[in-house]
Every structure is written in C-alpha cells, then in structure tokens.
Structure 1
Amino acid sequence: ATGLAFVPMMGAVLPANLVAARVTERLGAPMTIALGAALAAFGCLTLLGIAPGTSYWKIVGQFVIMGGGLGLLVPPLTSALLGSVDKSRSGIAAGVLNATRQTGSVLGVALFGSLIGQSGQFMSGAHHSLMISTALLLAGGVVIWYGASRRN
C-alpha cells in the first residue's frame, strides 16, 4: 500500500523528464534545474500541513508536484555534468554521478529514517525531514542559478 501511495509521484517524473529537454532549450539548464528544485521544494513545503488524520487524497497533489520538480531537474543536471567533461572521460563522470546519487540516497534514507523512526516521533520527524528537504532543494537551486548568472 505504501508503494502504491507513491505511484502518482513517480508517475509525474516521466512526463517531466520528457518535457525537461524542451524547457532547457528555452530557459537554459541552470534555470530549468532551479525551477525543478523550486517545484520539488514547494511540494515538500506544502506537505508540512500533514497530520495523523490527513487523507491521502489531500496530499497526492503535493506528491505530483514533487515528482514533477525532480523530473524536471535531473535531466539537465545530468546533461550539464556529462557535457562539462571531455568525451574521453564521460564514462568516469557518469560513474561518479551514479555513485554520488546512490550515496546521497542511502544517506538520505538513513537520516530521514532516523528522524521518523523514533518511538512516537513519526510526525515530528516527517516535518523535520520535509523542512531539511525544502532547504536543501532551495539552496541547491539558488546556488546553481546564481553560479550560472555570475558566469554569464
């Protein structure tokens, strides 16, 4: 049931991935990444209103927004990284990117799991996890956008 609850979020990733190339052509990679991070952060921020009795149907929209934001930022981020290295080193860059993603996922699950796994602290831990996610997404988006605007 928990896995099925996240299907709308994951279902939003694919269309956003497909649209990301067109958005990147119009706005550029840094702006698309920042926009995706802002959307995902907005989804996290709006989930802060959840409580123990919150209906699933009241949060499914936030899941879709988060998935859309993540789907929008990953393709241009990957493309920018792989495009920034010599073609002869693209395999190494792809390996480093995937290792970094996997490490981040493991650390994120461990951190957020420890926050929500404490006895009687699920909602408090969930709120802390959402606040941390919001802050990291916004900070990452701002750094990428600001860095690109300084370079231009």
Structure 2
Amino acid sequence: MSKEIQEVLGYCEENFEKGNLELALRCAVSVSMSNPNAPEPYAHVTAYRILLTAANNRTATREPDYYAVLGIKRGSSSKTVAKSIERRRTEITELFNNGQIGDFKAVFGVCDLLKRGIAELKNDDRRRAYDLRSGFSLVD
C-alpha cells in the first residue's frame, strides 16, 4: 500500500474512531475512486458500509440486525441462510485478504461483527432465540 493511500486511510480511520461513520465512508469512497486498482481502499469502503448498516439497523434489544449486516432476508429457510452466510463469508475473506489492509480498527470490527452475526444465524436454535429476543417474530 502506498504511503499516500495509507495516510488518507488513516484519516478515514480517525473519523471512524471519533464515531463519524458517514465521513469515514465518504473518505474511503473518494480514495477508492481515485485509486481504482488499489484493493485497500475498497476493503475500507466495504468495512465502513457494513459498520454503518449495523449502526443504522438495530433490533428491539439494540443489537445489530444481523440479517441486514449479512444481507439475508428474514424468514429465509435454514438452507438459504447457510448459503448466504457462506457466500458473505467468502466475499469478505477474499476482500480483506486481497492485499495489505493495514492495522485499522474498522476492518477488525467488521470481522468481529460478522463472526457474531454468523454465530447467531447459522444455528437454527440460536437463530430462533435471536429472532424472539430481537422482536422479529412479532413483526414478521
């Protein structure tokens, strides 16, 4: 990763750490558009988008809506959920392993968020408990 890209992504990360996800995302998008062949800015765009989705989609218990985070439709069959989880995990793994992403908290935060979401939704019993706890079964 070039020093210039690393510096600008550092500025994006500073905004993330201050709690300004929108500005961090706009910053990463501009770096990504200016450097279309560099995978690092795109990884940061993806990380900030996922974190912004989690921040804007909360359950009744204020947990992240893991369905929104993982891009899964509520009420999907177990087989569909498993396929969606595996597809999302593969996409994220490829993206974050595609070059040096640096030591940025946002990227590690996304990995932790996805692990928790996968743990909640992959197992049928845990998913039912999550749905009940989150109020989804009452709404759907």
Q: Specify the TM-score bucket, using the shorter chain as the normaliser.
A: 0.3 to 0.5
Question: Where is the helix percentage greater, Structure 1 or Structure 2?
Answer: 1
What's the TM-score, normalizing by structure 1? Answer: 0.33
Structure number with the bigger relative contact order (C-alpha 8 A, sep ≥ 6) is 1
